[in-house]
Structure 1
Amino acid sequence: MIKTRDTSDVFDSVVLLDERLCQEGFQDGYKDGLVSGKEEGREVGLKMGFQVGEELGFYQGCLDVWNSLIQIDPGAFSSRLQKSIQQLGDLLGKYPLLDPENEDVQEMMDAIRLKFRIISANMGAKLEYKGYPKSSTQGMEDI
């Protein structure tokens, strides 16, 4: 009977050791995951933020050119088109650049893109944001 008891104690200690090592492994993995998750999140956020800023800059640049043309020649665009250009400016001005956690950013970007397409179509121009070929991916290939 003593042998059975000793065997039971050995198995209990093996089970306890296994559980303790699993817990330690989990804790180590969790800590490492937090660190690498933050780093990866920062890199992805930087890339996505750059792409959004680049696209918004494209639309703002077009808006600036159109507004300059309107100042030089107020009759260059119809009043309807001028109103659309002003609405695009309003949309761009309302975009929450300093509030990345705003839940409405995607809807706002969709509205900006739509307004831009409407203006381009009304001008008879084939303008489209395609992204700068090198800047959006340069140095971020591994992300």
Structure 2
Amino acid sequence: MAGRSGNEDLFDDILLADERFRGEGYLEGFERGTRRGLQDGRRHGASHGAKLSTEVSFYYGFTITWRCLLQQKTDVRARKRRKALEALLGLVHSSPHDDPQSAQLQQHMERVRAKFRQVCSMLSVPTDFNDYIRAHEGTSF
């Protein structure tokens, strides 16, 4: 076999360096992308979780307040309203909102929202949760 010239070795070194740097760049980019994806995912999850928690807390407070307002009334209409409020409260209590991995979470929240709309109809109050949030923006505790 004939020996390789210095030019061939230099050319091979350049090609190998290109491959090595490309591989290192890929790995570095992949690691940075993975870290960034996890950070973005955590931020999105925390934001979504906070919104869901706010919504569930609102339904709980809404139900307790209306239950107190109707407790002294004894007419048939008030009893039906209290029964619907108790059903909504039961849904809120049984919500899997403390388990974000729950497959039933979204389906359960749809049932809670539907019951909320039904209760609001019975009470003749607005049904859009976001209306309540906007009405109380800036409120601090």
TM-score range, shorter chain: 0.7 to 0.9
Distance (Å, rounded) in 1 between the aligned partners of 2:44 and 2:121: 34
Identity %: 26
Q: Deviating runs (4+, > 6 A) in structure 1?
A: none
CA drift at 1:63: 0.5
Deviations 1:46-71 (A, max 9, x none): 21111111111111111001221343
Partner residue, 1:73: 73
Mark the runs of 5 or more structure 2 residues left unpaired by the alignment. Answer: none
Evaluate the alpha carbon distance shift between residue 45 and residue 72 of structure 1 in structure 2; reply closer, same or farther with a 3 A threshold: same
CA drift at 1:11: 3.6
Q: Structure 1 stretch 22-31 or stretch 77-86: which is displaced more?
A: 77-86
CA drift at 1:92: 0.6
Which letter does structure 2 place at the counterpart of 1:42?
Answer: R
Counterpart check, 1:21 vs 2:21: yes
Which letter does structure 1 place at the counterpart of 2:16?
Answer: L
Partner residue, 2:60: 60
Deviations 1:87-128 (A, max 9, x none): 211111111232111121111111111111111112222232
Check whether the contact 2:81–2:119 (CA below 8 A) recurs between aligned residues: yes
Evaluate the alpha carbon distance shift between residue 67 and residue 92 of structure 1 in structure 2; reply closer, same or farther with a 3 A threshold: same
Distance (Å, rounded) in 2 between the aligned partners of 1:76 and 1:57: 28
Distance (Å, rounded) in 1 between the aligned partners of 2:24 and 2:100: 36
Counterpart check, 1:49 vs 2:54: no
Check whether the contact 1:88–1:115 (CA below 8 A) recurs between aligned residues: yes
Give RMSD over aligned pairs: 2.6
Partner residue, 2:116: 116
Mark the runs of 5 or more structure 1 residues left unpaired by the alignment. Answer: 136-143
Partner residue, 1:132: 133
Count residues with an aligned counterpart: 134
SS of 2:129's equivalent? coil
Distance (Å, rounded) in 2 between the aligned partners of 1:113 and 1:101: 20
Which letter does structure 2 place at the counterpart of 1:46?
Answer: A
CA drift at 1:23: 1.2
Check whether the contact 1:69–1:76 (CA below 8 A) recurs between aligned residues: no
